[in-house]
Amino acid sequence: MRGKEHGSPFNKKCSSVSQMPLLALICALASWPHFANAATESASPAEVMLTKGWRITQDVRQLGEKLGWYKPDLSADWQPIDRLAHLQLLLAPQPYFGRTLRSFNDYPWWYRMEFSTPSNARSATLRFGGVDYFAKVWLNGSLLGEHEGYGDPFEFEVGGILRTDRPNLLAVEVSSPWDHRYKDLTYPFWAVERNLIKGSYEHADTLIQRDVNPVGIWRPVRLIIHEGLHATGEPAVTSALSSDHRLADITLVWPVANDGVPTNVELRMQVRQHATGRVVARTSRAVRLDHGMSSLQAGATIDSPQLWTTWDRGAQPLYEAVLELVPSHASGLTVSTTFAVRTVELRRSADETRFFLNGKPLYLRGATYWPDLYLSNMSRVRYERDIRAAMRAGINAFRVHVHTEDPEFYELCDRLGIALIQDNDLNWVFPTDVGFTARAVRHFGALVEQLRNHPSIIAWVAMNEVGDLNGVGMPQGLSPEGHRIGAQLVSRARQLDPTRPVIQNSIDKDDLASGDEHDYRGSLMGGKTTYFDIFADKSKLVTEFGVDAPPALTSLRVVPEAAERLREVLPRVAELHDYQYRLLKYYIEHYRIQKYSPNAGYFQFMWIDLSPQSFYGIYDYWGNAKTEGLGGGLRALMESNQPVGIFMEHNTKPVALHAVNDSSEDLGECTAHWIVSTASTVVLEGTQRVRLRADAHQRIRDLSFPVNEGENYKIVLELLAPNGKVLTTNTYLDPFRRRLRPAGYPDRMDEELGMRLWWAGDRK
């Protein structure tokens, strides 16, 4: 099952690193995308899989259409590819950085393949799972149409064009061009006007590599043979829960097409529990299918529905709805979809931005997630590895930041109980004309339609960090153009999905259409700020904070190019991991001490690095935790991010002790214990009872002792259950010193590698 090792750019290097068990595992699974594809490519008799047999070439003269490269009689000696994936992964020696990557996007690429069809194939749908980014499709010399996007499926009806007596020729022109317009050349890193609506490239300030812009057909292509009656999309599921939660009304809307004459059919729906298969509802009714498109609606009521929630609050029961059309004269049509019953609400006011799940407040302990620049390099195996590691670190929510992931990711979050805030791809600076706005609204609508059945998604984000679209820099509030575009995006999302809230512009804490904020004091905001600066602040919902840390030493040495650029920082990796530990710990505990007064949650930026360099991730690109020195960001999460926590409020001196319980269990009369010591003596020790109810925060007591300059303090906290069992512990090592951001922070770009690096261009 293992294919050629194109899936990871580090295969040859990884094979020699036997001392790293996790890295060795990653290398052994370098062809993860092959495993994922293999699981989905067992075509039914009514499908022809079109994933093998493609040949490609780059149209460097841009004459492909004029020369008729889409015509069946073309004699083309093009390069064969063994699978569908982003072309950089297939062809580039190093697909993650370096200026040579820019050539992949300078000119279009052409794909051609021949395939045969059964003799009874009179009607058929040609479905593309994903093409990045612009696609123009021909079949047997006839232009089928065009598509813009990178992750949304699209299809064409091709029955009248198919040949059954000889092979068919499918040709696709694919391009993902660079954007070359800038708002202000004073800030070229921030000012790229992004005409492509894809968040996974050209993030302007090199948070994403300057030279990476994924391109290619990267998801399976299928020919679905039918008899004129066929689905044109997935059913959309909505559920309405009664106020006492005893009944759930389920409605499914299923788009279908009838290419033949009008006909009478029976529409059947069966709803069953996904885990047990027990049928909980079934309905049936006669419907009339006219020629053309129809939206069929089916409804049912579930008695005593099981409600979905996050893993730290309960179970994740799922349901499966099966829809079937039974005509009298031909074979039927069946589709199934998985969903869950739950309600979600976002209450926004000047005093709160708080999520409610099934009518109860939900405290979010989250991180943003963006594991790879190339979605075709992801797989179910890697997604599950990341999600389970996040759960062990106490994370109950992800923000999918300015991109979408593969379907397997959302299915796993549904099953494992991770709440998701899902971003649109619109970010920073983009055109404001009517044409672009219409494209952006279509793109956001396609995203909502594709993902709306997943119960794990609790909110949509229409735009990220958009300010004055006629200027540059970090936004201080939306301009009139931004409000106009944002309002249209929000309206479209609500039209397609009235069950979820929409954040118009992530960062606008004072705008009640958004209500969240980003805070980078002590990191991005400059070397003169410190994380202690947040001490007196109140934050309603924080969807970005954090600080960069380079990968582990063992990981860095796998990539000689990056290791050479980072040679001066290699001896300081432990120091930088320590700073990430301290900053994340302070931010997280600051927010949790404010639980619901007013804080409703936070999202550390990020969970996994996108690529082999310095990023915000707790884990690096290879899946290795950044735990050198004191233990890095992962230690901060293990101490401060679990559902039950005990914390010391402090800045340069101690203030108070707090206990927090995010679970749905009443923990009863607990006991808090603390010890304060220096290298030479115990300064303070004490014990106190604390009543800790479900989903609660309790201030235990004031904490005060002299802090002497030059003394190194250690504080150990412990929270015991009524039966004496240890619920949680926490440790503070020299916590009272005000620390500036470490020298050499990666705020400059390495022009050769096209990305930010610690000390990039700085040899002081």
**400-439: pLDDT as tens digits:** 999 999 999 999 999 999 999 999 999 888 899 999 999 9
Both tokens of 324, joined, read 């079937």
Q: pTM of the full predicted structure? A: 0.91
Is the model's pLDDT at 730 over the cut of 70? Answer: yes
Quote the DSSP letter at residue 540: S
Determine how many CB atoms are found less than 10 A away from the CB of residue 117. 18
Q: Which amino acid is residue 739, in one-letter code?
A: R
Is the model's pLDDT at 31 over the cut of 50? Answer: no
pLDDT at 724: 95
Strands 221-226, 47-49: pairing kind: antiparallel
For the purposes of burial, counting CB atoms within 10 Å of the CB of 93, is it exposed (0-12), middle (13-18) or buried (19 or more)? exposed
pLDDT at 331: 63
Alpha-carbon distance of 72 to 379, in angstroms, equals 35
pLDDT at 314: 95
Among 210-224, 329-343, 748-762, the range with the most confident prediction by mean pLDDT is 210-224
Question: Which of 107, 108, 112 is closest to 74 using CA atoms?
Answer: 112
pLDDT at 697: 97
Torsion of CA 199, 202, 203, 206, to 10 degrees: 140
Q: Which amino acid is residue 73, in one-letter code?
A: D
Domains of the chain: 11-178+213-224 (2.60.120.260), 229-330+332-339 (2.60.40.10), 363-423+516-764 (2.60.40.10)
**β-strand partners of 338:** 320
Contacts of 121 (CB under 8 A, 6+ apart): 159, 162, 164, 223, 225
pLDDT at 9: 40
Q: What is the average pLDDT value for the chain, to the nearest integer?
A: 89
pLDDT at 474: 52
The CB-side HSE value for 65 (13 A sphere, CA atoms) comes to 10
Contacts of 763 (CB under 8 A, 6+ apart): 568
pLDDT at 185: 65
Q: How much of the chain is helix, strand and coil, in % rounded to 5? A: 20, 35, 50
Is the model's pLDDT at 16 over the cut of 60? Answer: no
Is the model's pLDDT at 293 over the cut of 50? Answer: yes
Strands (E), 662-763: 668-677, 682-692, 696-702, 714-720, 726-733, 749-750, 755-756
- 611 and 209 Cβ atoms separated by less than 8 Å: yes
Alpha-carbon distance of 524 to 534, in angstroms, equals 14
Is the model's pLDDT at 30 over the cut of 90? Answer: no
Contacts of 724 (CB under 8 A, 6+ apart): none
Map tokens 């069929």 to a residue: 296
Q: What are 624-654's pLDDT values in tens digits?
A: 999 999 999 999 999 999 999 999 999 999 9
Arithmetic mean of pLDDT, 20-34 = 36
Q: What are 201-260's pLDDT values in tens digits?
A: 766 656 788 889 999 999 999 999 988 889 999 999 999 999 999 999 999 999 999 988
Element (H or E) spanning 176, and its range? none
Residue 750 confidence class, pLDDT cut points 50, 70, 90: confident
> Helix 380-392 and helix 32-40: axis angle, to 10°?
110
Is the model's pLDDT at 749 over the cut of 80? Answer: no
Is the model's pLDDT at 23 over the cut of 60? Answer: no
Both tokens of 55, joined, read 């040949």
pLDDT at 735: 97
Give yes or no for a cis peptide into 153 (omega within 30° of 0): no
Q: What are 39-72's pLDDT values in tens digits?
A: 333 345 588 999 999 999 999 999 999 999 999 9
Q: What are 102-155's pLDDT values in tens digits?
A: 999 999 999 999 999 988 888 899 999 999 999 999 999 999 999 999 999 999
Element (H or E) spanning 608, and its range? none
Decide: helix, strand or coil at residue 587. Answer: helix
The CB-side HSE value for 654 (13 A sphere, CA atoms) comes to 24
Q: What are 352-386's pLDDT values in tens digits?
A: 999 999 999 999 999 999 999 999 999 999 999 99
For the purposes of burial, counting CB atoms within 10 Å of the CB of 574, is it exposed (0-12), middle (13-18) or buried (19 or more)? middle
Determine how many CB atoms are found less than 10 A away from the CB of residue 37. 21
pLDDT at 490: 97
Decide: helix, strand or coil at residue 369. Answer: strand
Arithmetic mean of pLDDT, 562-590 = 91
- 448 and 460 Cβ atoms separated by less than 8 Å: yes
Is the model's pLDDT at 494 over the cut of 50? Answer: yes
Residue 19 confidence class, pLDDT cut points 50, 70, 90: very low
**In three state form, how does the secondary structure of 46-72 look?**
CEEECCCCCEEEECCCCCCCCCCCCCC
pLDDT at 20: 37
pLDDT at 720: 98
Arithmetic mean of pLDDT, 472-479 = 63
Both tokens of 501, joined, read 């809230």
Residue 180 confidence class, pLDDT cut points 50, 70, 90: confident
Element (H or E) spanning 204, and its range? none
pLDDT at 178: 92
pLDDT at 714: 97
Question: Which of 472, 225, 241, 503 is closest to 348 using CA atoms?
Answer: 503
Alpha-carbon distance of 479 to 468, in angstroms, equals 5
Is the model's pLDDT at 7 over the cut of 70? Answer: no
Alpha-carbon distance of 564 to 575, in angstroms, equals 19
Residue 76 confidence class, pLDDT cut points 50, 70, 90: confident
- 659 and 670 Cβ atoms separated by less than 8 Å: yes
Give yes or no for a cis peptide into 638 (omega within 30° of 0): no
Determine how many CB atoms are found less than 10 A away from the CB of residue 22. 16
Alpha-carbon distance of 212 to 200, in angstroms, equals 9
Q: What are 662-675's pLDDT values in tens digits?
A: 999 999 999 999 99
Arithmetic mean of pLDDT, 75-96 = 94
Higher pLDDT, 286 or 14: 286
